[in-house]
Amino acid sequence: TCSITPSKLVHFCKNDGELFPSREAPESRPIFTPDKGRDEFLTEKIVESRRRGRGWQYLVSYVGFGPGHDEWLASKKLEENAALEVWLTGNGSD
């Protein structure tokens, strides 16, 4: 049998950001979508657009990630994306 005295048990303490103010919170994790079998990230907004070949690419900013993680995606990869619809509404349909 295992006998643990109450003095050996650790008291649960909820994480508190004020305990270590110099530490950054971890970045957001991708959302796993079992129907597609790949990770997806939440799009915060479209930052810029550019013409590439016969199509368009958009600079995508993700929720919970800094500008260093922004990436250019082809319009085909942004089908049914609310951030792209907002961008096209505010900047004219490309």
Burial class (CB in 10 A: 0-12, 13-18, 19+), 41: middle
pLDDT band at 12 (very low <50, low <70, confident <90, very high): low
**24: its two tokens:** 């950054």
Burial class (CB in 10 A: 0-12, 13-18, 19+), 65: middle
Q: Is the pLDDT of residue 20 over 90?
A: no
Look at residue 1 in the predicted model and tell me its pLDDT: 57
User: In the chain, what is the greatest distance between 2 CA atoms, to the nearest angstrom?
Assistant: 72
Domains and CATH numbers, the chain: 30-81 (2.40.50.40)
Q: Is the pLDDT of residue 10 over 90?
A: no
Q: Which amino acid is at 45?
A: K
Look at residue 41 in the predicted model and tell me its pLDDT: 77
**Rounded mean pLDDT, 33-57:** 81
Report the alpha-carbon distance of residue 74 to residue 37 in Å, rounded.
20
Q: Work out the percent of the chain whose per-residue pLDDT is above 70.
A: 55
Q: Is the pLDDT of residue 90 over 80?
A: yes
